[in-house]
């Protein structure tokens, strides 16, 4: 509980009153408080520390900056004294100027943010952005998807499957490697992903009941198939009527070493060939598009294909 006697003593100082007045409106850093009140940093920091020590203010650290705001949990008597003090603070000659300067400081924040995004406009998807990895974005996109029964064919250890399992009704991850399936299943158990099931099998003949899944995903897996048409035929078989297929794969390329380095059976697919294979499997509303280009040799390009089972 805040001592009313100590609080009254603190509120007798005009600078502390001005600080409380601006912090009631907005959480501010020490530097921003200094700018609004046009007062030295050491003096501002001292006043803020005293106010925090009484329990009126609380702080948080953001990197090298410390932000202050009114304490969320303040007793009623202390709040009454503060309200009376803030009413009296309007009589301080500098109070009106503080309010105007606070608006300028907040606009400065906005301008700094706007300047950054204006500067990188047109480069946002091409340059490094802290915290924006494909994995992080994947978690975001999964939250936007409706719960479905999903088959992830050629899943490997199944990072994508694990993300999907947080949201989907059921995820079946299929891979031909016993070790991949073993590791994936261990990870699923360790993270309590009870809606994720790993199955050993070939993506050309996945061990999944016909017409049982809503969505089939082939993420950088189709070029590992010996007969990709059979894989797409199998995907069509296991989908429910109205189900969808999503394929991420490499665009056709000439990097022969991929066969040795990554065990690739195919050097990607042209958009035209992938379109034709999907249509031959029976899919409709087929869309195939180039979605990314790497800037380092061998300059792989990625294509995204989507389609529906009528």
142 and 51, same structural domain? no
pLDDT at position 78 is: 83
Mean pLDDT score of the chain: 87
Identify whether 128 is part of a domain.
Answer: no
159 and 289, same structural domain? yes
Structural domains in the chain (count): 2
Q: How large is the average pLDDT for residues 107-114? A: 74
Identify whether 238 is part of a domain.
Answer: yes
pLDDT in tens, 24-69: 988 899 999 999 999 999 999 999 999 998 888 999 887 778 999 9
Q: Is the pLDDT of residue 113 over 80?
A: no
277 and 190, same structural domain? yes
If one counts every other C-beta atom within 10 angstroms of the C-beta of residue 171, the result is: 29
- Name the residue range of residue 225's domain: 134-308
pLDDT in tens, 88-105: 888 898 888 999 999 998
In order, the DSSP letters of the chain are ---HHHHHHHTTSHHHHHHHHHHHH--EEHHHHHHHHT--HHHHHHHHHHHHHTTSEEEEEETTEEEEEE-SS--HHHHHHHHHHHHHHTTSTTHHHHHHHHHHHHHHHHHHHHHHHHHHTTTTTTS--TT--HHHHHHHHHHHSPP-EEEEET-TT-HHHHHHHTTSSEEEEEES-HHHHHHHHHHHHHTT-TTEEEEE--TTS-S--TT-EEEEEEES-GGG-SSHHHHHHHHHHHEEEEEEEEEEEEBP---TTHHHHS--SSS-B-HHHHHHHHHHHT-EEEEEEEEEE-SSTT--EEEEEEEE--
Q: How large is the average pLDDT for residues 247-261? A: 90
161 and 301, same structural domain? yes
166 and 274, same structural domain? yes
The residue with greater pLDDT, 251 or 124, is 251
Identify whether 274 is part of a domain.
Answer: yes
pLDDT at position 201 is: 93
Banded pLDDT at 110 (limits 50, 70, 90): confident
Identify whether 129 is part of a domain.
Answer: no
Q: How large is the average pLDDT for residues 107-124? A: 65
Does residue 223 contact residue 266 with C-beta atoms inside 8 Å? yes
pLDDT in tens, 166-198: 889 999 999 999 998 999 999 999 989 999 999
141 and 269, same structural domain? yes
CATH number of the domain that residue 179 is part of: 3.40.50.150
79 and 13, same structural domain? yes
Banded pLDDT at 18 (limits 50, 70, 90): very high
Identify whether 232 is part of a domain.
Answer: yes
Q: Which of 78, 97, 120 is the last residue of a domain?
A: 120
Q: Which of 120, 154, 178 is the last residue of a domain?
A: 120
Identify whether 110 is part of a domain.
Answer: yes
pLDDT in tens, 81-90: 888 888 888 8
CATH number of the domain that residue 52 is part of: 1.10.10.10
Q: How large is the average pLDDT for residues 236-243? A: 97
140 and 116, same structural domain? no
pLDDT at position 62 is: 75
289 and 201, same structural domain? yes
Q: Is pTM beyond 0.75 here?
A: no
Q: Which of 64, 91, 120 is the last residue of a domain?
A: 120
303 and 242, same structural domain? yes
191 and 245, same structural domain? yes
112 and 59, same structural domain? yes
Q: Is the pLDDT of residue 275 over 80?
A: yes
Identify whether 170 is part of a domain.
Answer: yes
Identify whether 14 is part of a domain.
Answer: yes
């Amino acid at each position: 509980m805040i001592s009313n006697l100590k609080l009254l003593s603190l509120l007798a100082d005009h600078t502390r009153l001005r600080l409380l007045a601006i912090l009631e409106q907005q959480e501010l850093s020490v530097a921003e408080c200094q700018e609004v009140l046009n007062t030295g940093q050491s003096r501002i920091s001292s006043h803020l520390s005293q106010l925090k020590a009484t329990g009126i203010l609380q702080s948080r650290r953001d990197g090298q900056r410390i932000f202050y705001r009114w304490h969320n949990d303040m007793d009623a008597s202390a709040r009454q004294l503060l309200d009376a003090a803030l009413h009296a603070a309007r009589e301080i000659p500098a109070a009106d100027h503080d309010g105007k300067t606070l608006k300028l400081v907040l606009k400065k924040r906005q301008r700094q943010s706007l300047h950054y995004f204006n500067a990188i406009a047109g480069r946002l998807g091409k340059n490094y952005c802290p915290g924006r990895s494909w994995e992080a974005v994947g978690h975001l996109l999964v939250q936007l998807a409706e719960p479905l029964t999903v088959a992830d064919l050629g899943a490997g250890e199944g990072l994508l499957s694990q993300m999907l399992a947080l949201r989907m009704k059921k995820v079946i991850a299929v891979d031909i490697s016993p070790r991949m399936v073993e590791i994936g299943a261990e990870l699923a158990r360790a993270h309590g992903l009870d809606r994720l099931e790993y199955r050993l099998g070939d993506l050309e003949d996945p061990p999944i009941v016909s017409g049982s899944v809503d969505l089939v995903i082939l993420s950088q897996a189709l070029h590992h198939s010996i007969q990709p048409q059979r894989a797409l035929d199998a995907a069509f078989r296991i989908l429910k009527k109205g189900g969808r297929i999503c394929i991420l794969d490499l665009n056709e390329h000439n990097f022969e070493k991929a066969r040795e380095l990554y065990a690739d059976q195919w050097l990607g697919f042209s958009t035209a060939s992938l379109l034709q294979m999907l249509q031959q499997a029976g899919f409709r509303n087929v869309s195939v598009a180039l979605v990314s280009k790497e800037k380092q040799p061998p300059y792989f390009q990625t294509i995204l294909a989507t389609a529906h089972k009528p």
